[in-house]
């Protein structure tokens, strides 16, 4: 059997489930944030697909995701109070003052706030602030991980498209 170098997953495989969830979330949070590294502002905003999806918009949307799932769902405060768009689709819309630096910073800050919001909760604690109704933190972790993984894939494809130009 071939020998493979240890991977990120190998480092957390023996850790408690909560640590595994958080490690995988952080890996995908970081990967999505880094998708903007080395790009010009124009490249980050460039529309390469028919939807509103741009690299800068993906990271801005990921900030929205963090706030919906770890602020709105935990605190039960409405999106209007949190300054969030009403829909996920609107969270991809870029403002004139959105820059790589400002969007990456907002995303990192939202991720840190998410970690703090969840730090005192257990995986089976129920969050009451989501539109779907009460959900356990474990489900939220899995949902956010799935969403981040999808968007990391989108970012990879968009980066490939930019490299081909």
Encode pLDDT of 61-105 as tens digits.
999 999 999 999 999 999 999 999 999 999 999 999 999 999 999
**DSSP-derived secondary structure letter, 136:** E
Q: Read off φ and ψ for residue 135, nearest 5 degrees.
A: -140, 145
Q: How far apart are CA 4 and CA 22, in angstroms?
A: 24
Mean pLDDT along residues 2-9: 64
Structure tokens at 15: 């850790």
Q: Which of 84, 85, 91, 92 is nearest to 53 (CA)?
A: 92
Mean pLDDT of the chain: 93
């Amino acid at each position: 059997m071939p020998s493979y170098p240890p991977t990120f997953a190998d480092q957390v495989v023996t850790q408690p489930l909560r640590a595994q969830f958080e490690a995988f979330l952080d890996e995908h949070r970081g990967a999505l944030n880094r998708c903007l590294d080395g790009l010009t502002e124009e490249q980050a905003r460039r529309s390469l697909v028919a939807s509103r999806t741009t690299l800068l918009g993906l990271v801005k949307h990921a900030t929205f995701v963090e706030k919906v799932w770890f602020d709105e769902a935990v605190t039960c405060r409405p999106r209007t109070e949190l300054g969030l768009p009403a829909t996920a689709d609107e969270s991809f819309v870029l403002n004139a003052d959105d820059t790589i630096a400002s969007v990456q910073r907002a995303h990192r800050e939202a991720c840190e706030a998410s970690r703090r919001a969840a730090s005192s909760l257990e995986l089976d604690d129920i969050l009451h602030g989501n539109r779907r109704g009460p959900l356990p933190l474990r489900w939220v972790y899995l949902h956010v991980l799935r969403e981040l993984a999808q968007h990391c894939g989108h970012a990879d494809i968009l980066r490939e498209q930019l490299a081909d130009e």
